[in-house]
Structure 1
């Protein structure tokens, strides 16, 4: 079988769907403990860290298989993190100062999360990626 065989594509789709189910439920659970914009900030920063690690692990180590990366990256982390909720909750904040602060915090900490994920991957596998 080739990588383009319909059964393999269906298997990948099913794996991403299972990952999406897990990520959405994890996102909901975090929201129960940390509601509102702070909970959304937490999942977006954590998701950025994990996605950064997953990307750099693939570049530097390559121990996590392509299917697992699809489940974790496209499935779990895509449904765990949430731009639409971030945008809505930011618009609903009490003042423009809080809105700007939330945008700056989300993007700044998100980028920092990716860089921290890269640093962890580098520490585990070495390399300069």
Structure 2
């Protein structure tokens, strides 16, 4: 019988990582100083993109094992998926300021992800 695409253990890894990532994001975005939510959200998403690129680059340098697959689920899909919040940008993008913040977040996020990927692979091209 073929292995299911996602086991209960895999789902638990994503759940735990996502919960921790969401708590970290919430703690970083709690201060309510003027503009903190806007720029803090941008920072969280760009740092998360960099970290995901770095994680992916490091994993690409290694021979894939079952442990690596589970680490990707816990740290990549779970922790960094919960830490970043591109969905918040979609909710706020109707206002002109938030539209440009969303554009800036996506552009900087892509740049950060490629930078992380390159760093994770030891400086080689992605």
**TM category, shorter:** 0.7 to 0.9
Classify 1:45/1:104 alpha carbon distance in 2 versus 1 (closer, same or farther; 3 Å): same
Secondary structure class of the residue paired with 2:121 = helix
1:22 corresponds to:
20
Secondary structure class of the residue paired with 2:3 = coil
Greater helix content: 1
2:73 corresponds to:
70
- 2:89 is aligned with 1:86: yes
Q: TM-score, normalised by structure 2?
A: 0.80
Q: TM-score, normalised by structure 1?
A: 0.78
- 2:17 is aligned with 1:4: no
CA distance in 2, matches of 1:41, 1:100: 12
Runs of 4+ in 1 over 6 A off after TM superposition: none
For structure 2, the residue ranges without an aligned partner over 5 or more in a row are none
CA distance in 2, matches of 1:62, 1:29: 35
CA RMSD of aligned residues (A): 2.6
